[in-house]
Structure 1
Amino acid sequence: MAQPPGPENHDDAGRLLRQVDAVVGELRPGARLQAGLDSLLDRDLGLDSLARVELLARVEREFEVQLPSEVLGEALTPREVLAAVVSAGYRPRPAAPDEARMAAPARADGLPEAAPRLIDVLEWHVARHPERTHVSFYRTPDATEPLSYGQLAEAAGSIAAALTAAGVRPGACVALMLPSGLDFFRCFFGILMAGAVPVPMYPPSRPAQLEDHLNRQAGILRNCEAPVLITFDQVRPLARMLTGLSPSLRTVLTPADLDAPPMAPVATDAEDLALIQYTSGSTGDPKGVMLSHRNLLANIRAWGRAVGLGSTDVAVSWLPLYHDMGLIGAWLGSLYHGCPLVLMSPLDFLARPERWLWAIHRHRGTVTAAPNFAFALCVKRLADKTLDGLDLSSWRLAANGAEPVNADTLDRFAQTFARYGLRPEALAPVYGLAEATVGLCVPPPGRGVRIDRVAPEPMRTRGLAEPVPDSAEALRFIACGQPLPDHSLRVVDGDGRALPERRVGRLEFRGPSATRGYYRNPAASAKLFDGDWLVTGDYAYLADGELYITGREKDLIIRGGRNFYPYDLEQAVGELAGVRKGCVAVFGVVDVQAADEQLVVVAETRETDAERRAALEQRIAGAAVEQIGIPPDVVVLALPHSVLKTSSGKLRRAAVREAYLNDTLGASTRPPWLQVLRLQTASLAGQLRGLARRAGGWCYGAWVWAAFWLLAPLAALAIFVLPSVGARWRATHRLARAFQTLSGCPMTVSGLDNLPDGPVLLVANHASYADGLVLGAALPSPVAFVAKGEFKGNPVMRPLFERMGAHFVSRFDSRQGVGDLKRLGDIARQPPPLLFFAEGTFGSSPGLRGFRLGAFQIAAQHGLPVVPVAIAGTRQVLPAGSWRPRRGPLRVTVCPPVSPQGEGWHDMLELRDAVRQAILAHCGEPDAGGG
C-alpha cells in the first residue's frame, strides 16, 4: 500500500502533479502548460467539473485512497487535493461481491388516498407506522443515516415553532437553500407546518459562475418576497449578501438555529400553496410555478397508478432536492406511497457513478429517475470496469427525463449493464415539466424504449412525421408514453387548431396537477394559458396516442423554409477536438435584412493560437453542413464558462443568446474574488437600506415605550385616586386612546351598538399582551377583566387590577377553578360586565385557539347573552416573545350577542361554538384548533 503523502513529501507532490499534467495534456494536446501546487484547477489549468472528476479518479488509483465527494467541489488547487489525500490515507473499500443486501421493505396497508395536504399524508403514516424508515441518506460512502416518519414529524414541528417565533407568518414564503440531506426534509415540512410556503433554491456550486448564480437567486427572493432564508454554514457568508439584494429578506438561518418546543401544524387548505418551484431558467429568467397541495397530490397519485408504485418499492436517488424530479418525483412520491427512499449527494454520484448502482444493488432498488447525462456518464466511466457481484435485477423502472433523451445513450446503457442483470425493458423515457408539477407522460412499465424513425425532409419542411425504415438519414424520436391518468394532451398549430397525429405543432396539456400560474408574474401567467389548456413551450407530435417531443419552441431555428433544432448540431460540434464537450450553444438571431434567422454557434475552447482557432472554426462549419446541410452564419469561439447552464446542467440558450447580442459573453469567467467583490458592492446599498429600516424600527419601539412610560404613571394615579370604577375607566380609556394615537397604529372600532343594556358577558380572543390596552381604548364603558390567578402574586399588578374591578381565576387548580366559576356566576349578574379571554393564553403561532368553557358555563346556567369581541392586529403589533412594538393597523369588532338555548352540556357547547365562529370571522387569523 502506498504511504499517505506527507506535506513535505516532494515525491508525492510530484506524483500528484504528474496526474494533473496528464489530464491537462489530454484536454489540450500540444499545450505547453505545467501545473504547480498552487495552480487554480479551474482558471489556470482549465479543468471543468468533469475533468476534475477524471483527475480525482486517477488520484485515488495512484494513492490508493478514497477521497470524500466534497473534494470535487471544494478543492481549488493541487495542494488542496494533496491535503485531502493526506486526510483520507486509507485503502478504499470496494463493494464485496458477497456483501449482504438489505431485506425488501415490508408491505404497508393502504395509502393516504383521502389526505388533502402533504401534512395530512405525513400524519397518516405517523399514525400507522411512525418507526417505519422513510429516508436513508448516505452520509459517507459506507454508512446511511435513517429518518423515520415519526422523526420527520417531530423535527418538523420543532422547526415550525422556531420559524413562527422568527416572525414567519402563514402564507409567507421561506427560501430553502440546503444541500441534499435529512435537514432538507425536516425544514421543508417545518415550513409547511408553520403554514408557510417552501421555496427550494440551489446552493452555489461553481466558483466561476458565483456572481451569475447569486444574482439569479436574488431575483427569486425578490419575486417571492421571502423574509427568511434557511441555508448551511458553508455558504452562510455568501447568503448574507442576498439580504442586500432582496429587500424582503430579513433573516438568514441554519437548521441548527431552528430549535423550539414542537407546535401543532397551522391550519391550511388543499388549495393553498404547498410549494413554489422556480423553473431552471434554461429558456429565460426563472419563474415561480405555483403548486398547491391538490396539484402535488394529484400528480403523485397519478404517477403512482401509472407505474404501479407501492410500499414494497425502493426508490434510489442522487437527484438534487431543489429540482422538481428529485423533490417531487423521488422524495414526495416515496413519502406518499410509503416506499423507502435511499438518497445520496449529487457529488457522490458525479465523483463515482458506480455508487448509484451499488446502492440499487444493496437496497434492492426498484425505481429511479435521472437525466440522460447520468446514464451516459455511467457508460463512459464504468463500461470498461468490472463490478464483480453487482446485481441490478431488482431495478424495474429507470425513468429518463428532465432533458432530451438520446436513443444511443439508452442503447449503450442497456448493453453495458445487461451482464449485471439489468433488463432493457426497465428503461423508460418520460416527459414532464414544472408547470404540470413534474411528470406528465410515462410509457407502460416494462415495455422498454420505443423509437419512431421518420423521413427528414417532410419533418423539416412540412412538420410531418412520416415513418420510414431505419436508415442513417432517418430522424429518430423517442416515445415518452401516454399522459398520466386524468391528464390530457393536444398538439395545435399556430392558430390554436388541434392537429391530427403525426403532425408537429405546439404541445398543450391540462389536468388536476396543472399549475394555476407563475407567482407574482401575471404577464408570464397570461402566456401560459390557451383557454383551459396550458402551453408547454415544446414542439411535439402524437402517434398511437403516445408523445414524441421534437424540440423546444424557443430553440427552433428557421432557415430557407426549413426548421432546425440545435441539439444534434451541438452534440456534433462538442465532439470536435478542441471544443469543450457539452459547452456548445446553437441558436438563431433575427436578421432584419432577411426573413430567415442567422445561425449562430457558440463553442467554448481553450485554444489561443490564431491559426488553430481558424481551423477549428472551419471544422465547426463543416460539422454544421454535414449535420443540417447549411453552414452557420456566425461561429464564436468563447472562453470556458461562457456558455451558461442551469443548476441541473441544461444549456441556457436564451441567456447565451442575450449575452451574444449584448456583447457580454464570458462575463461569468471573472475570478471568484472579483465576483464576490462585485456582489458585495451591489449588496451594500441594500444592506444599508435594511440597516436603516431596522434602526427605524428600533427608534419606533423606543418612541412607543417612551409614550407608554409617560402615560402609565398618569393611569396609575387615576386608578388609585378616582373614587369609582366608572371614573377610573373613563380616565384610562382616554389615556389608552392617547397612547394609541401616539403609537401611530390606526384603530377601527365597529359594532359598539351591539352591546346590550343589562347583564351580559363579553368574550374576546387573545393574541398579545397589547389586547388589554386595545380593549381599554376601544370600549367606552367599564368592563371587568377576568384575569389569570398568577397576577394575584404580583405586588404591582394586583392592586391595579383590583381597583379596575378585575377578578382572578385559577388555571391549574381544578377545585379552586370550580369555586372561582361559582363566584363569578354570582358576580356576572351585576355591572360592569365580565370580559373573558376564552383562549386562556396566547403564543407566537397565529391562529384562534380552542376556547375554555368557563364563560359559557356561567352564561348557560344564568341565562346571560354573550357578546363576541374580535381583536385583530395585536399579534403583529406586539408578538409573543418580543417586547419591541411594530407599527400596524388594529381593529376591534363587537359582534351581535349570542343567547344560550338552555343549561345543558350540549347547549353550552353550541354557545361556545357560535361565539367562536363569530370571532373567527373577524379576528383575521386562521383556525388553529377545535372549539
Structure 2
Amino acid sequence: MPVDSESPLGREPEQTAQSVLNVIKELVKELRQGQEPPEPIQLDCDFDRDLGFDSLARAELIQRIEQQFKVNLPDQTLAVIETPRDLLRELLHAESQDTALVSEQIIRQIKLGAVESAPEQMETLQQVLDWHVKEHPDRPHLYVYQNADQVTEISYRALRDEALRIASGLVKQDVEPGQCIAIMLPTSNDYFYSFFGILFARAIPVPIYPPARPSQIEDHLKRHARILQNSQVRILITVPEAKPLSQLLRLQVPSIQAVVTVPELRQAASGPLSTGDAQSSDIAFLQYTSGSTGNPKGVALTHANLLANVRTMGRVVCVDSTDVFVSWLPVYHDMGLIGTWFGSLYHAIPLVIMSPLLFLSKPQRWLWAIHHHRGTLSPAPNFAYELCINKIDDAELEGLDLSTWRLSWNGAEPVSPSTIRRFTERFAKYGFRPETMSPVYGLAECSVGLTFPTSVRLPLIERIRREPMERFGRAITAAADETDVMQIVGLGQPLPGHQIRIVDEFGRELPEREEGGLEFKGPSATQGYYRDPEKTQQLFHGEWLDTGDRAFMVGGELFITGRSKDIIIRAGRNIHPHELEEAVCNIPGIRKGCVAAFASHDSHSGTERLIVLAETRETDKVQQQRLQQEVNNLSLDLLGSPPDEVVIAPPHTVPKTSSGKIRRAACKDLYEQNKLDARQRTVWWQTLRLMMAGINPQLRRYWRIVSDFSYAAYMWLVMAVLAPCVWCLVAVVPNKRWCWSVARLGVRLLILFTGTRVTMKGKENLPDNTPCILVANHSSYLDGLIMALAAPTECNFVAKAELLKNPFARIFLSRLDTEFVERFDMQKGVTDARRIAANARNNRSLFFFPEGTLYRMPGLHEFHMGAFIAAVDGALPVVPITLCGTRSKLRGKSLFPRRGDISVTIGKPLTPQGTDWNAALALRDQARAEILSHCGEPDLAHIEK
C-alpha cells in the first residue's frame, strides 16, 4: 500500500496508513455485529459501494481518527473522502489538536442595541432590507462562519450593496423580471448576496442544494434537472468548482442560458438598476418540496406570504432585536431560509449561521456557538437533537453554558417524545431548560410555520390508547398503568390569522380527538405549485389547502399522526409507518434511519399489503433470515400481525431525499417494479389471508362513516320536529315565564332524543333571587340553547341587533325579553349600552357572550366591555360560566352535528370593586381568567393584540 507523502504524526506513512485501516476495520466489524468484512479492506475501497458507510458512519470514522491521532481534520473532510486513501491524505496534512486555536471572533458575545421599531409597513423583502439600511445601515445582520474558527460580519448596508452589484450583473446577462434564477451555493456570504441580488433584479430565486460528494453527481443531476425544467431557469449561479457539473446540468435543461459564478457577476456589474419596484403579490422565490412522497413541486410564495408568516411567528414567540439567532440549517430549505434568515432579517435579530457540514462533522459546534454568542433562539429537526445526544462526549462539553437558550423549535420532521426527554435530561446540567424545547409544525405550502405553542411551556405529550386510534381513529387518553399506548407530541395552535381543521373522507370537519386529514388556510398559504395546475388543483379543497398529513386536535392543540399518503390501511387498521420504522431501526443489525414501511396495493384482493424494507450490512443468509424473523416478531407485538413481506436489502437500497427523509413512494415503486430483488409471496396466498383477516375490520371502519352521517341526519330531524313546535308555543303563550319554560322544555327534549349528556357544575353559585350579570365563552350555535338551561328564570339575553332582520329570530327572542345591541353603528351602540346598564340597575339579570361572536377555531378571544360596564354601573355580581363540548358537537360555520357530551361550569360570583372604568377592566380580567381555567382551550387574546 504505497503512500507518497511524509507524515507529520511522528511515524512512517505506511504505519499511519495501516493504523487508519485498522480503525476502519474495527468500525466495519461493529456495524456488521462483530463479523469480519467479506473482502480485505484496502486504501482504495469505496466507502459507499464496498463498505456501506453513510454520512453518519463517515462522521463516526472521522471522530475516531481525530481521537486516535490527536488531530483536527479539515471541515470538508466529511464531504470529500471517498476512500481510505482520501482519508489518509487529509490526515497527513491535519493540524495537531494542541495547535488548533479558537478565534477571538468565536468567543466574543454579540451585544447590539435594541431596535425600537419594525418594518411593519413594508410589503416586499427588498423594502424590508432598504428600511434597515435607512434606519441602521451599519448594524450587523449576519455572522457567517467561513470555517470552524473564522466568522465574517455582514451589515445591512454591505448586504444591499453586494446584492445590487450582483443584480446589475444579472441584468447584463439579459435577465428580465419574472424569470427564474437558480442558486446552487453552500451556506456562505455569496449565497446571501446572490439571493437578494436576484430579488433586486426582479427575478425569482430558486434555491437548490450543492452536491456534497462527487459520488452523488448522478442522483444530483437527475433530481435538479426536474426542478430546473419545471421552473425554466434562465441562469444558474454556482461555485467555480461546480461549473463542470453545472455544464452537464445545462445540457439537460435547455432553458439555461448561462452558468455563472458570483465573481463573474460582480465583474459584469455596471450602472444603476432600472427594473422597477416589486409588488407584494410578486413571487418572492420558489421552494421546491423535498420529494419524499413524489416528484419535487415548486411552491410559489409571494412577498405577502413570507412577510405574513415571519410577522405572525415573531408575534407569537415574542422575539425582538435583543435576541441572538444561531443556526446551522441549510438556507436552501424553508426552515433555514424563511424561519431563520427572513425572520432574523425582519426583526433586526443578529443571525449567527454555519454550514450544515460544520454541524454534521462535529455536532458540539452548534451548542458551543450558542454558548459563545449567547444565543437565545435556535431551531433544528428532531435528528439534530438525537445527534447531540449520541455523538458528543461529556469531555467535549466541559464549560458549556446553554442558559441563554430561550427557544429551541423542533420541527420539519416527526418529533419524538423520547428525543425530547433524553435531550432535556442530557443537557440540563449545562443550563438547558425543559420549556426551551418547543415542538412546532409547518410546511412549505404555508411558507414555513403553521402551528406554534402560544406561550413558553413544557412540551405537551399526549398518551393515547393504540387500539382505538388504529381501528377507529379516536384519540382516547390512556390510563397511567396502560402499556399499549402511542405517545404523540403537541405542536401548538395555528398562527394568528390562520386556521386549521381536521376532516374525514368526505371533507366534513371532525370533532376533537378524532383523526382525519389536516387542512389549513391563511395569509401565508401559497397560491399553488409553479407551472403545475394539476397538482395545484389537488392541493386545494375549496378555500382550504390539503397538507397531506393526518392529525387530531385537543383543546386547539395540533397532534400529527402521520402522512396521509403514507397511511397503510391493513386489516381495518390505520398503520403509521414512521412508528414501525423507528422500532425496526432498533433491531441490532438493521441500519438506523434506513427502514421504509409502505403499502403495496394488491389489485387481486383490492386491499393493501404491508411491506417492510430494511437495510443491513449482513451478507450471511442465516443472519438475514434471523433479521426477517425479528422484524416479524416486532410487528406482531406492535401491530398485532406481521408484515406481508419483510425485504432485507444491502446498504443504499432505501431511497432518501436530500435532507435524509425516507422516500416511501419511491420504495413502493422499486418494489412493485421488481427491482428490489426480493422473493414475493404468491398472489393466491396474499388474497386468501387478507380476505380472512380484513373483512370485519373493514366493516367497522366504514361503519364509523355511516354512523356519523346517520347521527347528523337524525339530529337534524329531531330539531326539525321540535323547533316549529317550540317556536309556535313561545309565540302564543301569554307571559315571559311560560315562554322560558317552553324553551327549556324544548332544549331538554333535544338533549334527551339526541343522546347528549349535559353535566352542570356549580349550580349553587347562581345567586338566589338576586340580579346578576352572566357571561360565558361562545363556541357553537348550541351555546344559547344550553344557557337557556343554566340561566336563572328571570334573565334577559343580550344579542346582536342583526338578528332583528330575521322575523323568526326576532319574534322568538323578543318573547324572551332579549336585549338587542348594535355592533357596527358606534352611536347606536353607545345608546344600547346605556339602556342595558339602566336595565341592570333595575334589578334585571342579563346574559352576555362577551366574545361578541363565535369562532370555528378553538381558543378564548378578547372580551368586550359591555357586560362588565353594566355590572359596575348596576353594582351587580358577574357570574362566569364555562361551556365545553359544544364546539365539537356543532362547530361554527358547520351544519354537521356530531356525537359528544357537553359540560357547564358555573363559577363563583365576582363582585365589582369600584364604579369606574378600572373596576370594569378588573372584573373582565377576573371573569375571563376563570373561564380560561376551565375551557381547556388556548388563550388567543395576547396574540390578537
SS of the aligned residue for 1:159 comes to: helix
Would you say the 8 A contact 2:287–2:334 is kept in 1? yes
Q: Distance in 2 between matches of 1:141 and 1:173?
A: 33
The verdict on how the C-alpha distance between 1:204 and 1:637 changes in structure 2, with shifts beyond 3 A counting, is: same
Q: In structure 1, which of residues 371, 376, 379 is the aligned counterpart of residue 389 of structure 2?
A: 379
Q: Does 1:279 align with 2:289?
A: yes
Would you say the 8 A contact 2:389–2:423 is kept in 1? yes
Q: Distance in 2 between matches of 1:480 and 1:102?
A: 32
SS of the aligned residue for 1:280 comes to: coil
Matches within 5 A, 1:263-412: 263-264=272-273, 266-382=276-392, 384-385=394-395, 387-412=397-422
Residues 42-64 of structure 1, C-alpha deviation per residue, up to 9 Å, x if partnerless? 21222111111011001111111
The aligned counterpart of 1:450 is 460
Would you say the 8 A contact 2:106–2:149 is kept in 1? no
Q: Does 1:503 align with 2:514?
A: yes
The residue type equivalent to 1:449 in the other structure is P
Give 1:384 deviation, angstroms: 4.3
Q: Any gaps of 5 or more consecutive residues in structure 2?
A: 1-5, 679-945
Q: Does 1:430 align with 2:440?
A: yes
Give 1:607 deviation, angstroms: 1.8
Q: Does 1:535 align with 2:553?
A: no
The aligned counterpart of 1:248 is 255
Q: Distance in 2 between matches of 1:96 and 1:412?
A: 32
Q: In structure 2, which of residues 71, 75, 81 is the aligned counterpart of residue 75 of structure 1?
A: 81
Give 1:618 deviation, angstroms: 1.4
Q: Distance in 2 between matches of 1:624 and 1:241?
A: 45
Q: Does 1:615 align with 2:626?
A: yes
Q: Does 1:62 align with 2:64?
A: no
Q: Does 1:18 align with 2:22?
A: yes
SS of the aligned residue for 1:656 comes to: helix
Would you say the 8 A contact 1:96–1:389 is kept in 2? no
SS of the aligned residue for 1:338 comes to: coil
Residues 616-666 of structure 1, C-alpha deviation per residue, up to 9 Å, x if partnerless? 211221121122111111121222111111111111111111121123349
Q: Distance in 2 between matches of 1:650 and 1:146?
A: 33
Matches within 5 A, 1:212-231: 212-231=219-238
Q: In structure 2, which of residues 637, 648, 656 is the aligned counterpart of residue 637 of structure 1?
A: 648
Question: Relative contact order (alpha carbons < 8 A, sep ≥ 6): 1 or 2 greater?
Answer: 1
SS of the aligned residue for 2:236 comes to: strand
Q: In structure 2, which of residues 152, 172, 175 is the aligned counterpart of residue 168 of structure 1?
A: 175
SS of the aligned residue for 1:69 comes to: coil
Larger Rg: 1
Give 1:217 deviation, angstroms: 0.5
Q: Distance in 1 between matches of 2:74 and 2:538?
A: 46
Q: Distance in 1 between matches of 2:85 and 2:355?
A: 25
Matches within 5 A, 1:402-801: 402-470=412-480, 471-665=482-676
Would you say the 8 A contact 2:489–2:559 is kept in 1? yes
The verdict on how the C-alpha distance between 1:99 and 1:193 changes in structure 2, with shifts beyond 3 A counting, is: closer
Q: Distance in 2 between matches of 1:376 and 1:447?
A: 21
Would you say the 8 A contact 1:228–1:253 is kept in 2? yes
Q: Distance in 2 between matches of 1:274 and 1:296?
A: 8
Q: Distance in 1 between matches of 2:591 and 2:226?
A: 30
Q: Distance in 2 between matches of 1:274 and 1:379?
A: 37
Would you say the 8 A contact 1:4–1:85 is kept in 2? no
The verdict on how the C-alpha distance between 1:298 and 1:99 changes in structure 2, with shifts beyond 3 A counting, is: closer
Q: In structure 1, which of residues 261, 266, 291 is the aligned counterpart of residue 270 of structure 2?
A: 261
Matches within 5 A, 1:40-55: 40-55=46-61
Give 1:97 deviation, angstroms: 14
The aligned counterpart of 2:42 is 36
Residues 431-477 of structure 1, C-alpha deviation per residue, up to 9 Å, x if partnerless? 00000000000113420210011111111111111112344311111
SS of the aligned residue for 1:551 comes to: strand
Give 1:596 deviation, angstroms: 2.6
Q: Does 1:110 align with 2:145?
A: no
Would you say the 8 A contact 1:642–1:666 is kept in 2? no
Residues 317-366 of structure 1, C-alpha deviation per residue, up to 9 Å, x if partnerless? 11111110001111111011100110111011011000000000011111
**TM-score normalised to the size of structure 1?**
0.70
Q: Distance in 2 between matches of 1:494 and 1:78?
A: 54
The verdict on how the C-alpha distance between 1:482 and 1:612 changes in structure 2, with shifts beyond 3 A counting, is: same
Q: Distance in 2 between matches of 1:466 and 1:335?
A: 43
Would you say the 8 A contact 2:105–2:150 is kept in 1? no
The verdict on how the C-alpha distance between 1:598 and 1:139 changes in structure 2, with shifts beyond 3 A counting, is: same
Would you say the 8 A contact 1:193–1:266 is kept in 2? no
Would you say the 8 A contact 1:6–1:86 is kept in 2? no
Give 1:510 deviation, angstroms: 0.5
SS of the aligned residue for 1:457 comes to: helix
Would you say the 8 A contact 2:502–2:551 is kept in 1? yes
Q: Any gaps of 5 or more consecutive residues in structure 1?
A: 668-931
Give 1:100 deviation, angstroms: 4.9
Q: Distance in 1 between matches of 2:444 and 2:493?
A: 18
Q: Does 1:27 align with 2:37?
A: no
The verdict on how the C-alpha distance between 1:160 and 1:564 changes in structure 2, with shifts beyond 3 A counting, is: same
Would you say the 8 A contact 2:102–2:149 is kept in 1? no
SS of the aligned residue for 1:603 comes to: strand
Would you say the 8 A contact 1:465–1:504 is kept in 2? yes
Would you say the 8 A contact 1:6–1:12 is kept in 2? no
SS of the aligned residue for 2:500 comes to: strand
SS of the aligned residue for 2:397 comes to: coil
Would you say the 8 A contact 2:106–2:150 is kept in 1? no
Give 1:411 deviation, angstroms: 0.4
Give 1:266 deviation, angstroms: 3.5
Q: Distance in 1 between matches of 2:455 and 2:575?
A: 32
Q: In structure 1, which of residues 9, 31, 39 is the aligned counterpart of residue 13 of structure 2?
A: 9
Would you say the 8 A contact 2:110–2:324 is kept in 1? no
Q: Distance in 2 between matches of 1:162 and 1:97?
A: 36
Give 1:108 deviation, angstroms: 1.4
The residue type equivalent to 2:148 in the other structure is P
Q: Distance in 2 between matches of 1:666 and 1:104?
A: 59
Give 1:385 deviation, angstroms: 3.8
Give 1:167 deviation, angstroms: 1.6
The verdict on how the C-alpha distance between 1:665 and 1:119 changes in structure 2, with shifts beyond 3 A counting, is: farther
Would you say the 8 A contact 1:456–1:474 is kept in 2? yes
Q: Which is further off, 93-102 or 444-453?
A: 93-102
Q: Distance in 2 between matches of 1:642 and 1:213?
A: 17
The verdict on how the C-alpha distance between 1:546 and 1:653 changes in structure 2, with shifts beyond 3 A counting, is: same
The residue type equivalent to 1:59 in the other structure is I
The verdict on how the C-alpha distance between 1:110 and 1:244 changes in structure 2, with shifts beyond 3 A counting, is: same
The verdict on how the C-alpha distance between 1:206 and 1:464 changes in structure 2, with shifts beyond 3 A counting, is: farther
Q: Distance in 2 between matches of 1:390 and 1:235?
A: 38
The aligned counterpart of 1:741 is none
SS of the aligned residue for 1:647 comes to: coil
Over aligned residues, Cα RMSD in angstroms?
2.0
The residue type equivalent to 2:599 in the other structure is G
Q: Distance in 1 between matches of 2:650 and 2:359?
A: 27
The residue type equivalent to 1:132 in the other structure is R
Q: Does 1:91 align with 2:97?
A: yes
SS of the aligned residue for 2:300 comes to: strand
Would you say the 8 A contact 1:426–1:445 is kept in 2? no
Q: Distance in 1 between matches of 2:105 and 2:550?
A: 49
The residue type equivalent to 1:406 in the other structure is S
